Amino acid sequence: MNELLKKNLYEIRELLDKKEISSPELLQICLERIEKVEPKLNALITITEDIAGAQANEAQKRIERNETTPLLGIPITLKDIFVTKDIRTTCGSKILENYIPQYDGTVVEKVIAAGGVMVGKNNMDEFAMGSSNENSYFGPVRNPWDLERVPGGSSGGSAASVAGLECYVSLGTDTGGSVRQPASFCGVVGLKPTYGRISRYGIIAFASSLDQVGIITRCVRDCAMVLEVIAGYDPKDSTSSPIPVPPYSRLLDEGIKGWKIGLPVEFLSEGLEEDVLKGIERAKEVLKEAGAEIVDVSLPHLPYAVSVYYIIAPSEASSNLARYDGVRYGLRVNSSDLIEMYMKTRAQGFGPEVKRRIMLGTYALSAGYYDAYYLKAQKVRTLIKKDFEKAFEKVDIIMGPVSPTTAFKIGEKTSDPLQMYLSDIFTIPVNLAGLGGISVPVGFDRKGLPVGIQFICKPYREDELLRCAYHFEKTNALKIEWPSLEDVSPSQK
């Protein structure tokens, strides 16, 4: 395996700027890797080789003129939820299997303007609904560390493509943990910024008050570099914030000595795997070594978070997915009767998990149940947000597990939706409160599977979040030997 594949984005940036390697050469190395491992991982729905080739050539011209941006000439993948002009955008669903958008979303525009080389669109849970990447119309994604296990979801293809060394960075979305949980399962870094930090324009909507663009890389510095490129106000997204974007990567080296890191007592609940608990203990030691103090805090309404999420998110999904009617775009199952055409199109176009959530959401919003379910859930959401505000009066950052378990086997939880939903118990509260969170590898369990630790910040304090994660990563000094995948088949572990 080419050693360049194992390098971090910031290291490749230096090699490109010194002209020790060219962008087209780097792209070719990634494409060869994709050809070898993609049949095993299934991390990409669409490979955009020709477009990437043109972008790499253009990036190289800019490099020759001594231009530089964090993404200039860097191979990148995008979750197939990002609208891309003239490139199929499926959202992992049969209903959008052949949908070709007419425009680029804001984040895609920023990536292209920065000279990113887009090598493909990542596989994902259909309409971002899932915690395992088993709900895709295009088949499940496999975890690079163990091909019999899930990579997490819904941005499982993004995490698998970064851990599988197919690219140096991938962009996903995080509605209830969909960037952080896959990052934890795949041993990479996953950042979900504050709601409003990155424009959502041009992202196919799941739950509009929860969705946020996230970044998956192999180290914290890379995350900071990419966030500088894609963050910022967008007039096309009324929920995006005008707060200026700091130079995140230049603020990383400032220490965290004297910081107070809160550990909610509710995060140490029953159901945590022993190796995940050991990861938390290890993280506490590392943070103390970095100069921080660990403080107990409480988030008393945390036990209600999953229930609240599974009323609010499906309700918003039921509204957002009403547009897939077989009339304007996407799949159409022809029928002589309009209502019958709607029904047949949706019956054949949506998968079981999407149908389940549409029905849950439609029920929660229906007359007679709106006040009992949706309105009450929004009130409890406010209480959860206030819990975080109160905790942040005492501490600078909050820490905790990302998921109660490490990566589970494909098919292990598909028959029990509730068990699957509980996979996001520690990530969902962050979305409900609109805060920023990041997953960083802390170690491995006894099966050799990655374990992640989560850090949570105050609104729009990604500078502090990335600083904490960076010093944790630096002090922890975890050596990761990325799986080669060259000597195993999908039927082997």
Count of domains for the chain: 2
- Confidence (pLDDT) at 419: 85
CA angle 122, 215, 399 (to 5 degrees): 130
* Domain match, 360 and 414 both: no
Is the pLDDT at 492 greater than 70, yes or no?
no
Residues labelled as active-site residues: 79, 154, 178
- List, for residues 188-239, the tens digit of each pLDDT value: 999 999 999 999 999 999 999 999 999 999 999 999 999 999 999 999 999 9
- Confidence (pLDDT) at 206: 96
Structural contact between residues 260 and 396, judged by C-beta atoms closer than 8 angstroms: yes
* Domain match, 212 and 250 both: yes
Per-residue pLDDT averaged across 70-81, rounded?
A: 98
- List, for residues 79-135, the tens digit of each pLDDT value: 999 999 999 999 999 999 999 999 999 999 999 999 999 999 999 999 999 999 999
Number of Cα atoms under 13 Å in the Cβ half of residue 91: 25
CA dist., res. 368 & res. 493, Å (int): 51
Whole-structure pTM value: 0.96
Tokens representing 183? 């990052």
8 occurs within a structural domain: no
Is the pLDDT at 489 greater than 80, yes or no?
no
* Rounded percentage of the chain residues whose pLDDT exceeds 90: 92
Is the pLDDT at 159 greater than 50, yes or no?
yes
* Domain match, 460 and 342 both: no
Q: For residue 180, what are the domain limits?
A: 22-265+392-476
CATH number of 470's domain: 3.90.1300.10
492 occurs within a structural domain: no
- Confidence (pLDDT) at 368: 87
Is the pLDDT at 183 greater than 70, yes or no?
yes
Mean pLDDT of the chain: 95
Tokens representing 16? 């490109």
User: How does residue 493 score in pLDDT terms, banded at 50, 70 and 90?
Assistant: very low
Is the pLDDT at 434 greater than 50, yes or no?
yes
* Domain match, 141 and 77 both: yes
385 occurs within a structural domain: no
Is the pLDDT at 169 greater than 50, yes or no?
yes
Residue type, 19: K
SS3 263: strand
Q: Per DSSP, which regions of 70-126 are E strands? A: 75-79, 117-122
Is the pLDDT at 64 greater than 90, yes or no?
yes
CA angle 357, 358, 363 (to 5 degrees): 100
CA dist., res. 277 & res. 243, Å (int): 37
Per-residue pLDDT averaged across 459-480, rounded?
A: 97
